[in-house]
Each structure stands twice: as C-alpha cells, then as structure tokens.
C-alpha cells in the first residue's frame, strides 16, 4: 500500500497525495497496478516541466522552482502570475494549454531571473491595445508562450500577429511580441519566390540570449530627474534605444508620444559580431510604427 506524489523537480514544486492511497496484493506481483489521478493536478505540473526548460534554453536565463495552483474559486479567474506569492495560477482548464502555461511562467522568469516586473497600467487580458508598460511586460510573456512550445499546433500562432490583424503599435502586446520574434528569427521568404523576402524591413537575426541580456539590463536616464538617476526599463521605447545604444529624439517623439525622451541609455549585454544599429531600427520600426 502507499500513495503517489508528484515529485519536486528543478523546475516545479511537486504535489503530495496526487493519488492518496493504493494497495496491491500477492496476485498483483509481476504486473502493474493502475492508479488514476486528477487532470487538474497532473497536467499543470507536467506542462510546466515540459515548457520551462524550453523557455529557459531560449532566453538563456533560469530561476528556482515555481509554485502553481489550480483553484476554480480563485480571485483571478484567468491565468496569472502573482509576484507576491511567486506563484502561477491556472484556473479553469487553462492548465491544459502549454502556451498559456509558458506565458505565465515567462512572467515568473522575468520577475525572479530577468530584473523584476514593474507596475503596469490598463492591462486587460489579451487586449489588442493596452499601455506602454502593459504591452512591454505582456509582449515578452507572449513571446515566451510561443517560444516555449516546440510545435505550431496551438490555437495561438505567429500568423495571429500579422500586421493586418494587429497593426504596429508600441502599446500593443502583439506588436511587442512580434518585435522579439523578428529581432531573433530573421526575415521570412516568400513561398512562391524563395529568393525574395516577405519582410524586407526585418533586417535582424540576432542571438536570443543577447536580446534577453539587453532586456534584463537596460536602464534609462531621465533628464528631469537628475543626471545620475538611472531607472530600469519599463516600456518598449527604453528597450529599442538600449538595443541601438543611442537615442533619436525626433523618432522618439513621433513613435512614442507621451514618453519623455531619455537623456541616455545603457545596458551590459555584449553586442554580437552581426550587430548593426540601423538594422535594429529597421526591425523595430517595422513592428512598432504603422506609418514610418
């Protein structure tokens, strides 16, 4: 007799009493005894263990084991990460979708392994246009959700974030997610003409670890707050200027209205040999500016 537990792993906290009691008899010797547990206990644990190593390998960052909960009476009826508790919440049947699980884990990785989350504004669930702070945080998590699943069979795919479905907008979660993707993946070819490029504005194919290093270490200096008052990035404008290692005031004013132009930016990432500021600008303008 005994019980079946879901063990702690290097990625996920386990669960005691997955199957609280089983017994076997002499007649069972040499065979198997079947036990049945609840899907809402097993699937979130399994899916987290599946997606986390993929996300961490893609990003080049890691953190400690994550806690998780599935509670139909939860205060938040949608998937979420609570930084106060360092816990992923997967109510309803959301735990069954690996991309959802990878999205929420990316928030946890961001907070504990990549510089910490920031306060967001107007952050509705999967809204097409939120705020600068929300779009940047959720955009990274959306990218992690796609990167964390190795197949394209999910209901979410990159086809969902085309310019037609989601026009470029720095306040759009999908635009920010698409920016991460295009910085890393390279331009797509036209199927009918393999020698032609479908996205000529996408001029980057940079290492994901470099992109995430810039994200994690980017800081901006706001003039009105003093010459030596550096702040962590919290919107996509900070990120693109850190990628370029320069600031273009006219572009900043036109593409990011309402955000004060920084005096300076800095980051500690090591630029790869194929780094080029003009190519980076072409890629981010393609993803964030509708009329540039």
Per-residue pLDDT of the chain in tens (292 residues, 90 and over written 9): 899 999 999 999 999 999 998 888 898 888 888 888 999 999 999 999 999 999 999 999 999 999 999 976 667 788 999 999 999 999 989 999 999 999 999 999 999 999 999 999 888 655 445 799 999 999 999 999 998 886 655 545 665 666 777 889 999 999 999 999 999 987 765 444 555 466 789 899 999 999 999 999 999 998 765 667 899 999 999 999 999 999 999 999 999 999 999 999 999 999 999 999 999 999 999 999 998 8
Placement of tokens 């990035």 in the chain: 233
Which one, of 200, 180, 179, 205, lies nearest residue 189 by Cα?
200
Which residues lie below 8 Å from residue 36, measured CB to CB, with a gap of 6+?
19
Which residues lie below 8 Å from residue 250, measured CB to CB, with a gap of 6+?
none
Q: End-to-end distance of the chain based on CA atoms, in angstroms?
A: 69
**Does the pTM exceed 0.95?**
no
CA distance 202 to 218: 22
User: For 248, phi and psi rounded to 5 degrees?
Assistant: -110, 105
Query: DSSP 3-state assignment of 131?
Result: coil
CA distance 26 to 169: 67
Placement of tokens 């089983």 in the chain: 22
Return the pLDDT at 150: 64
User: For 214, phi and psi rounded to 5 degrees?
Assistant: -65, -45
Which one, of 85, 86, 4, 98, lies nearest residue 43 by Cα?
98
């Amino acid at each position: 007799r005994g019980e079946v537990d879901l063990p702690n792993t290097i990625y996920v906290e386990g669960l005691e009493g997955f199957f609280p009691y089983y017994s076997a008899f002499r007649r069972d010797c040499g065979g198997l005894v079947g036990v049945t547990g609840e899907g809402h206990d097993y699937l979130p644990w399994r899916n987290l263990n599946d997606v986390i190593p993929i996300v961490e390998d893609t990003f080049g960052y890691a953190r400690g084991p994550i806690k998780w909960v599935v509670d139909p009476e939860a205060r938040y009826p949608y998937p979420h990460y609570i930084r106060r508790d360092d816990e992923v919440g997967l109510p309803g049947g959301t735990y069954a979708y690996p991309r959802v699980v990878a999205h929420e884990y990316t928030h946890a990785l961001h907070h504990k392994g990549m510089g910490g989350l920031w306060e967001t504004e107007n952050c509705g669930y999967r809204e097409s246009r939120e705020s600068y702070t929300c779009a940047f945080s959720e955009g990274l998590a959306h990218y992690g959700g796609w990167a964390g699943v190795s197949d394209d069979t999910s209901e979410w795919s990159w086809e969902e974030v085309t310019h037609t479905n989601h026009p470029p907008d720095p306040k759009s979660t999908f635009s920010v997610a698409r920016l991460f993707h295009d910085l890393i993946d390279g331009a797509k070819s036209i199927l009918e003409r393999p020698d032609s490029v479908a996205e000529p504005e996408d001029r980057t194919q940079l290492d994901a670890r470099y992109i995430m290093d810039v994200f994690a270490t980017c800081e901006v200096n706001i003039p009105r707050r003093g010459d030596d008052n550096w702040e962590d990035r919290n919107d996509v404008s900070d990120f693109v200027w850190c990628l370029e290692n320069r600031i273009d005031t006219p572009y900043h004013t036109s593409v990011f209205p309402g955000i004060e132009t920084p005096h300076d930016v800095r980051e500690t990432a090591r630029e790869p040999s194929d780094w080029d500021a003009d190519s980076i600008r072409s890629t981010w303008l393609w993803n964030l500016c509708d009329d540039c």
